[in-house]
Amino acid sequence: MPLCTWLKAGTLAATVVLATATGANATPASEPSAVSASAVVTLRYDDSRAGGWESAIAAGVASWNANVDNVRLVEAAPGTRAEIVIVATTGWPRATLGPVRPGGQVRVELGSQAVAQGYDKTRIAAHELGHSLGLPDTKPGPCSQLMSGSSAGTACRNAVPNATEQARVESAYANGAASIVPADGRILVDAP
């Protein structure tokens, strides 16, 4: 048998052994900590009417996406319907209380009045997105609670949901879109 045939056979055998060994050591998909891609609820947001808030919205979205597994926020393509409509206003921030379902719709208003009084734009954006994901206010509350909103004071810059807030969102979206109770339509105004 020529040498090149031996080399091909040896390479094939090594590949089969390596693939088998890798498969035997892989983490099974059924482990409780693994979230299947089909169970992740994707919600689109439209910030095309939120001029001046783009970086705060991006940071707020990134915070939620980094801290929860069952729901993913993505920017809607131009001209497509979004579940979360974000607009800039001159009043106090406000949002429709979710959790929003895919195909449903809630509104987030990012109010410049709060910014004028010294509140952090990224915290405001992340907080209002939290309402869309089903979290009510927890006022009064410490800065470590994202949903404490304005009650934490103007010095608070925390835009990361704490473990309790993360768990509540994970629970709301635990079994994909089928388990989500629709948004009740209440508007939460975040004035102090």
Active site residues: 128
- Residues 6 or more apart whose CB falls under 8 angstroms from that of 177 comprise 41, 101, 102
Question: CA separation (Å) from 168 to 11, 100, 161?
Answer: 51, 14, 10
Tell me 80's DSSP state. S
CA quadruple 31, 37, 38, 41: dihedral positive or negative? positive
Q: Which of 174, 158, 191, 142 is nearest to 69 (CA)?
A: 174
Q: 83: helix, coil or strand?
A: coil
